């Protein structure tokens, strides 16, 4: 069962229940009101006749014949009181003696007696009124009996009655009208509720269609077109669109990562192919029969050693890059940046004693970072500067705006502007770096390590003006 149908049924059921309660209350009020009106009319007639009987004392002179019941007297013969002489024909009234026998009726007919139960007679003898409902000539009648007491003596009974047929008919008509009208209202309400629920749930339907389109087309650019108020449905549409935006960004990042991964695998395959091919070829030469001269064998063995060292360096760089990408959290220790800069400068100078490497750093520069990662970044920066320049390399450091900035500057050929955005990519090597040993992984490793320490890395360069690698690390706050 759909939500639309459930909402419509629930709404219609609530309305039907409300109409039932309203109809029942209306029927009860009408029934009580008409009954009270009939009772009031009967009381008025009974009081009028009772007062007339009390004034005339006619019942005192009435003597029933010995051995039987005398026929009732017409009201015109029974009393000279105006209440009896001009008694309306539409009203039903009887005068009974103390034993409940009929004494007088409007027309004095023997069959005019109204029912009076034994229980009612006992109540009347106690001086209390008595109401009862009974059938007379096949019609329901409301009968009111009251005692006539003269000088504290129970003398007679006044009975007045009215038919309940008209009341019953009007109540049946009211019930039929209420039931028919209520049923018509429920049917109309069901149709209106069905239409309104469809309008209210239309944005949800659009969300469903959008989700289906995304699943079918694999396109997260779809959005729910909602222009209504920002109610619960509007909030759902906004939340869904926001979720789609995040999914689109995540999907694009994943797609970009997959593209980088495919490119990375392709680059690794390319880099590994050359040394492996060389190794395979040289091993084939060594197995040639007859054996080659010793001088040539020596050259081949040297080539094998060089290619093996090249493979070791490539594997080490790849392992370092993999560890950097693995998400391993780096330490945030307080480090003396100046001392580490001096240490890395000495180590690099040992590798290239002929190269002039200058350091300009004030004492006491302290950063928050990982010691090994910081040194690795500095070694990569200096190694990169030495590879691409035959002149002096300078290192400078200073602190400003809560960051320690380290600049490594060379005087090499520089990097064209169109290549600068790509230099931190893996296995990327510019046109001028093709003849330089290396795999194009150093700056990519440095970028990853710097950013994991909360810093940033930037290259500034221009053709013919050398290059400057700018490293920034969080400075240790002053205590």
pLDDT at 403: 92
- Same domain for 119 and 35, yes or no, is yes
Mean pLDDT of 114-139: 89
pLDDT score, position 411? 85
pLDDT of 1 strictly over 80: no
Q: Is the torsion defined by CA of 173, 178, 181, 187 positive or negative?
A: negative
Is residue 298 domain-shared with residue 339, that is, in the same domain? no
Asked if the peptide bond before residue 221 counts as cis, ω within 30 degrees of 0, the response is: no
List the CATH number of the domain containing 126.
Answer: 3.30.450.20
Does one domain contain both 340 and 279? no
Average pLDDT over residues 156-176: 90
- Give a yes or no: residue 33 inside a domain: yes
Cα separation, 277 vs 279, in Å, equals 5
Q: Looking at the structure, do residues 361 and 460 belong to the same domain, yes or no? A: yes
Determine the average pLDDT of the residues in 234-258: 80
Q: Of 227-231, 324-328, 381-385, which range is least confident? A: 324-328
Residue 21 pLDDT > 90? yes
Per-residue pLDDT, 317: 65
Residue 239 sits in the same domain as residue 136: no
**Band of residue 240 on the pLDDT scale cut at 50, 70, 90:** confident
For a pLDDT cut of 70, what percent of the chain falls above it? 84
Nearest to 156 by CA among 58, 68, 47, 48: 58
309: domain CATH number?
1.10.287.130
Q: What is the mean pLDDT of residues 144-173?
A: 88
Q: Which of 99-103, 195-199, 336-340, 420-424 bottoms out in mean pLDDT, i.e. has the lowest? A: 420-424
The answer on 337 and 294 residing in a single domain is no
Check: CB of residue 333 under 8 Å from CB of residue 371: yes
Residue 42 sits in the same domain as residue 155: yes
Count Cβ atoms within 10 A of the Cβ of residue 207 and give its class: 0-12 exposed, 13-18 middle, 19 or more buried. Answer: buried
User: Do 11 and 153 belong together in one domain?
Assistant: yes
CA dihedral 336, 339, 344, 345 (to 10 degrees): 140
If asked whether residues 247 and 338 sit together in one domain, one would say no
**Does 350 score more than 80 pLDDT?**
no
388 or 158, which is more confident: 158
On the question of pLDDT at 183 being above 50, the answer is: yes
| Residue numbers of the domain that contains 467 | 331-474
Domain boundary among the residues 170, 193, 222 is at: 170
Return the pLDDT at 66.
47
Domain count, the chain: 3
Highest-scoring range by mean pLDDT, 181-190, 212-221, 447-456: 181-190
How much is the pLDDT for 17?
92
Cβ neighbours, 10 Å, residue 410: 24
What letter does residue 100 receive in the DSSP assignment? S
Query: What confidence score (pLDDT) does residue 271 get?
Result: 59
* 89 within 8 A of 125, measured Cβ to Cβ: no
360: CATH: 3.30.565.10
User: How much is the pLDDT for 24?
Assistant: 93
pLDDT digits (tens, 9 = 90+) for 408-461: 998 888 888 888 777 887 666 655 554 455 556 778 878 888 888 889 999 888
Last residue of a domain, one of 270, 301, 321: 321
Write down the pLDDT at residue 274: 60
Q: Does the pTM of the predicted model rise above 0.75? A: no
Q: Does residue 208 belong to any structural domain of this protein? A: no
Domain boundary among 150, 170, 190: 170
Determine the Cα angle at 135 with ends 130 and 139, to 5°.
Answer: 125
- Answer yes or no: do 362 and 470 share one domain: yes
Q: Is the pLDDT of residue 278 over 80?
A: no
Q: Domain check: are 86 and 160 in the same one? A: yes
Burial of 156 (0-12, 13-18, 19+ CB in 10 A): buried
Give the mean pLDDT of 73-94. 75
């Amino acid at each position: 069962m759909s939500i639309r149908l459930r909402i419509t049924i629930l709404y219609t059921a609530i309305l039907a229940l409300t109409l039932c309660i309203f109809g029942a209350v209306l029927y009860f009020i009408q029934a009580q009101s008409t009954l009270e009106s009939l009772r009031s009319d009967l009381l008025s007639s009974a009081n009028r006749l009772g007062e007339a009987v009390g004034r005339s004392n006619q019942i005192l002179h009435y003597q029933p014949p010995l051995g039987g019941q005398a026929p009732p007297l017409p009201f015109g013969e029974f009393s000279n009181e105006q209440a009896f002489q001009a008694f309306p024909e539409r009203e039903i009234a009887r005068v009974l003696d103390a034993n409940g026998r009929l004494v007088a009726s409007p027309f004095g007919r023997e069959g005019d007696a109204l029912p009076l139960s034994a229980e009612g007679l006992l109540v009347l003898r106690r001086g209390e009124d008595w109401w009862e409902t009974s059938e007379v000539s096949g019609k329901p009648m409301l009968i009111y009996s009251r005692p006539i007491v003269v000088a504290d003596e129970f003398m007679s009974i006044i009975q007045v009655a009215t038919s309940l047929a008209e009341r019953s008919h009007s109540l049946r008509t009211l019930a039929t009208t209420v039931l028919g009208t209520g049923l018509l209202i429920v049917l109309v309400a069901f149709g209106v509720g069905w239409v309104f629920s469809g309008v209210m749930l239309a944005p949800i339907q659009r969300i469903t269609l959008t989700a289906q389109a995304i699943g079918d087309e694999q396109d997260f650019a779809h959005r729910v077109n909602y222009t209504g108020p920002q109610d619960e449905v509007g909030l759902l549409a906004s939340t869904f669109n926001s979720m789609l935006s995040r999914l689109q960004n995540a999907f694009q990042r994943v797609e970009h990562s997959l593209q980088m991964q495919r490119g990375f695998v392709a680059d690794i395959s390319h880099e590994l192919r050359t040394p492996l091919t060389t190794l395979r070829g040289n091993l084939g030469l060594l197995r040639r029969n007859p054996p080659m001269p010793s001088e040539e064998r020596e050259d081949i063995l040297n080539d094998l050693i060089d290619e093996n060292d090249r493979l070791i360096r490539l594997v080490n760089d790849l392992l370092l890059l993999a560890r950097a990408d693995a998400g391993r959290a780096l330490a945030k220790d307080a480090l003396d940046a100046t001392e580490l800069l001096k240490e890395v400068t000495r180590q690099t100078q040992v590798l290239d004693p002929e190269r002039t490497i200058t350091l300009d750093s004030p004492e006491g520069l302290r950063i928050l970072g990982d010691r090994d990662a910081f040194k690795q970044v500095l070694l990569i920066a200096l190694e990169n500067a030495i590879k691409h320049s035959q002149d002096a390399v300078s290192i400078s450091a200073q602190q400003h705006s809560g960051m320690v900035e380290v600049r490594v500057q060379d005087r090499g050929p520089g990097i064209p502007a169109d290549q600068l955005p790509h230099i931190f990519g893996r296995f990327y090597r510019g046109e001028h770096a093709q003849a330089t040993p290396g795999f194009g992984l150093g700056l990519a490793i440095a970028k990853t390590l710097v950013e994991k320490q909360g810093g940033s890395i930037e290259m500034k360069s221009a053709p013919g003006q050398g290059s400057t690698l700018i490293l920034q690390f969080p400075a240790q706050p002053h205590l």
